[in-house]
Structure 1
Amino acid sequence: MKNRLTTAQPTKAMRRRVPPGIVTLAAMAVLAAVAPASAAKQARQPAEAVAQRQAGDPIMAIVSIKSQQVTFYDADGWILRAPVSTGTTGRETPAGVFAVVEKDKDHRSTMYDDAWMPNMQRITWNGIALHGGPLPGYAASHGCVRMPFGFAENLFDKTYIGMRVIISPHDTVPTDIAHPSLFVPKPEAIAAAPRLADKLSVEADEATRAADEAKKAASAAAKEAASLPAALRKLEQQKARADAELAFADKTLANAKNDQARAKAEELKQKAATKAADAATQLDAAKAAAQPKRDAVAATKDAAKASAARKADAVKAATDAKLAGEPVSVYISRSTQKLYVRRNTHKPAPDGGGEVFDTSIEVPVTIRNPEQPIGTHIFTAMAKSATGLRWSVVTIENGDEARNALDRITIPQDVWDRIGPTALPRSSIIISDEPLSSETNYRTEFVAVLSDQPQGGFITRKPTAPAMIASDDGWDNGGNGFGFFYQRDPYVQPANPRRQRGQYQYYQSTEPMQRSWW
């Protein structure tokens, strides 16, 4: 017994001498071992933050999927930050380049059982948006970017249709850049733009009225001449019958057997000859009268075509001049070897929702070493500078360094001359390996997603209907260059990719949607 007590005492004393910190660490280890798997997702959330300075209008938002954070930038740097919740596994928020296309203060989901999505700012028409929602501390949405409710509400009135939204798989920030391929505006061109737009608008109105009058004249001439073929056919048939009667009279006279029969046949022939001569005279007169009318139809038709061409040229010039007062966005795709230009017309879309973007420029572009990756780089004119514009770049996919990407691009001179001299702050040039998504249409700026990143929240949504593109065949009520729409099948990235052996194949999902938040 003594030995047992002697042995136990040191053990008890040793336990009393264990430092408290070790006990605490041991307890924490035990708790960590038994914590539920979901707790592992709940990494420390980024805190909401507001820059301690006077903020300007936001130019872009960058969402980091890695850090679950959104940051808004004005011309001088970041102004707002907040935690977010992006798409969960299988419903991932697509990484790529977007812009705000619609805003709805009190939005209700049409996909998820009328779920409330307050202060919604849509970035694709198939349903990806930024909006207020619950933030569990990890990616949990069905593809949208949830923001804190209060943050989303305070932000709502600060943004605008066309504001750039960049969703990056990793953390990235805008960095300053200067390069000769970035637009350098001409102050005199910018100063002259409003006067030029007014002048060309008047000329476009006049050309439109002239084209309408020419079209009416051509229509009237065609209407007047429309009855000519039937009238001439009737006279030709009348002459043919008269000629047939004359031929019959000749035959009757030749077959007469006596004087009485010959006299009767002679009388019949004279009447038939007179009738045939009258029919021929009427036909010749009708043909002579018809020719000036036919000439008038041809002349007024040619005049209408020429007038319509002048109208189209005038409308195009007026549209370009009017759009010169808007920031310009350029997208250059290594995949399609094309350059696309967008400018917001601020005209409501005719089929409801959003605004119409001008899509009149789409041209081939030269890319040096087109077989080599170029990455995805978003160059943005942040503000005016002493030399023109101060630019930044955000890279979300490293195929090539941003400066090298610009070096590899040759922008056609006519495009440069058309949009460069009047480039304004918030203008952008995007260079990417990716084609434009088929979600890009006349109601969007650009939509391009990174094909090597998960897109579950994008591919499980019903694609937007085929793009309708605004034509420039109209002015004012005719459209101010945006009155008519036609189907277009550009080289675009299909809407619904499904990953297969490392690549994305595209399909429309038939998987039932869970009822939840985006």
Structure 2
Amino acid sequence: MFQFMRKGRLGVFVTAAIFSASAVSTAAARDTAADTAKEAVDETPIHMLVSIDNQQIKVYRGLDLIEQSPISSGKRGHSTPTGVFSILEKRRKHFSNLYDNAPMPFMQRLTWSGIALHVGKLPGYPASHGCIRLPRPFAKSLYKMTNRGMHVVVTRGSAEPQAVRHPVLPQPFVPATEVASLSGSTIDADPALRGAISPATLQAALEIAQPENPYFDRPLRMIITPRKQPNKIKVLQRLLNEMGYKAGPVDGVVGRKTRAAIGLYQEITDQPVTEKVTDSLIARVHLDAGYEKSHNATLRVRRKFRDIYSAPVSIKHLEQAIGTHVYTALDFEQGEGSVEWIAVSAEGDRGGPSDDLLNRIDMPEKVARDLSKMLTPGTSLTITDRSFKRNTGLGTDFVVITR
């Protein structure tokens, strides 16, 4: 949902050269001016939120609303889908392949099936064939802000970004190095080190020790979705068979043999003999059989519309609704150890507040470490119980349709 510009990294090289006082002064003034100009650039990611009910689009920089505009979305029979999208293609001049070669200036494509942002008439109500029409001045301005891969969240009602803090959200990885262990007190206590290592030398060594991420200017797109759960009756039958209770075929049907096996198990374990499948029975069999439930969800990661990583994770209380929530990392520099995140709920109250949902996510330590090493500014994490597979493919990010 976000796009940003990155600062160039300055390499500092110390050379043995002699400059006149005036040259040094001039160079210092020029460097100061350059640094000031760079500091003036706000690199906080921007994001777009479109409300169908309000016929409005809002553009935020982080948590700050910077622009907004009326829109015209799809009319009855051609309604604009809601969900999480990415800008797949941009063209200043474009003509519709579906509707009589109609002009679509400053087109920003959201789906390959024909949904896009572009200049169009705004009668004050939904009137398009599914696209999101924009006023020309706004569309032109917006076109300059965005790039391919930027997220666009389309909702029915209004949505706003909120700051969120949670240990599940990845933080930048800062590796420990041997050089970093040379503190000032350590250097001062050793005469040999005190004469050989200056603060400037130590700082330069630390900078060199930090690994460069060659993809630091490319935000990741991550998604967590539930897995299809195994049939609990089949699991129960298999475990009873493994423990010698002869529950019959593992077919998910609680027939005569399965009921008899349950009754025998209950009798041997001093439980009331009911021959019925209950949650407490299943939990007891799992415990006695040493069965551990596998992770019930999958994390997937894409960079530039291509899969680069996947891993198992878990979601607690999977029987409860999740909704669709998008979390985005704001700007940070390489070598920094923390980053702020913001969240947007794409389905209103469904699934509860975005920060509460994070309490239900269990991420293995290795997976969290892997994500920290890959993390880049503007990276987003979508957590949803909606399917993404139908509209996600080559040349797209993870597309989630919520209606």
Q: TM-score range by the shorter chain?
A: 0.5 to 0.7
Q: Where do 1:19-418 residues align within 5 Å? A: 59-187=46-174, 322-323=214-215, 325-334=217-226, 337-344=297-304, 357-384=305-332, 388-397=338-347, 398-418=350-370
| Cα deviation digits, residues 340-361 of structure 1 (max 9, x gap) | 11112xxxxxxxxxxxx22032
2: CA distance, partners of 1:82 / 1:194: 47
Q: Report how far residue 403 of structure 1 moved.
A: 2.0
Determine if contact 1:126/1:439 at 8 Å carries over to the other structure: no
Identical positions, percent = 37
Determine if contact 2:45/2:330 at 8 Å carries over to the other structure: no
| Correspondent of 1:432 among 368, 380, 384 | 384
Gaps of 5+ in 2: 1-39, 177-205, 229-296
Using the size of structure 2 for normalisation, the TM-score is 0.60
Determine if contact 1:183/1:421 at 8 Å carries over to the other structure: no
2: CA distance, partners of 1:58 / 1:425: 8
1: CA distance, partners of 2:80 / 2:386: 17
Classify the secondary structure of the residue corresponding to 2:54.
coil
Classify the secondary structure of the residue corresponding to 1:117.
coil
Gaps of 5+ in 1: 1-52, 198-320, 345-356, 454-518
> Match of 1:252?
none
1:124 is matched by which residue type in structure 2? T
Q: Structure 1 residues 324 and 412, CA, compared in 2 at 3 Å: closer, same or farther?
A: farther
Determine if contact 1:86/1:93 at 8 Å carries over to the other structure: yes
Determine if contact 1:437/1:449 at 8 Å carries over to the other structure: no
> Match of 1:271?
none
2: CA distance, partners of 1:417 / 1:138: 48
1:140 is matched by which residue type in structure 2? A
2: CA distance, partners of 1:141 / 1:192: 53
2:384 is matched by which residue type in structure 1? S
Q: Report how far residue 186 of structure 1 moved.
A: 2.7
Determine if contact 1:58/1:159 at 8 Å carries over to the other structure: no
2: CA distance, partners of 1:436 / 1:194: 40
Classify the secondary structure of the residue corresponding to 1:136.
coil
Q: Is 1:443 paired with 2:391? A: no
2:96 is matched by which residue type in structure 1? S
Report the more deviating stretch, 140-149 or 376-385: 376-385
Larger radius of gyration: 1
1: CA distance, partners of 2:371 / 2:219: 10
Determine if contact 1:75/1:383 at 8 Å carries over to the other structure: no
Determine if contact 1:101/1:161 at 8 Å carries over to the other structure: yes
2: CA distance, partners of 1:188 / 1:132: 48
Determine if contact 2:160/2:344 at 8 Å carries over to the other structure: yes
Q: Report how far residue 103 of structure 1 moved.
A: 0.3
1: CA distance, partners of 2:62 / 2:209: 24
Q: Report how far residue 172 of structure 1 moved.
A: 0.8
Detail structure 1 runs of 4+ shifted over 6 Å in the superposition: 191-195
Report how many aligned residue pairs link the two structures: 263
Determine if contact 2:44/2:331 at 8 Å carries over to the other structure: no
Q: Report how far residue 123 of structure 1 moved.
A: 1.1
1:173 is matched by which residue type in structure 2? E
2: CA distance, partners of 1:169 / 1:150: 25
Using the size of structure 1 for normalisation, the TM-score is 0.47
Determine if contact 1:58/1:72 at 8 Å carries over to the other structure: no
> Match of 1:308?
none
2: CA distance, partners of 1:168 / 1:193: 45
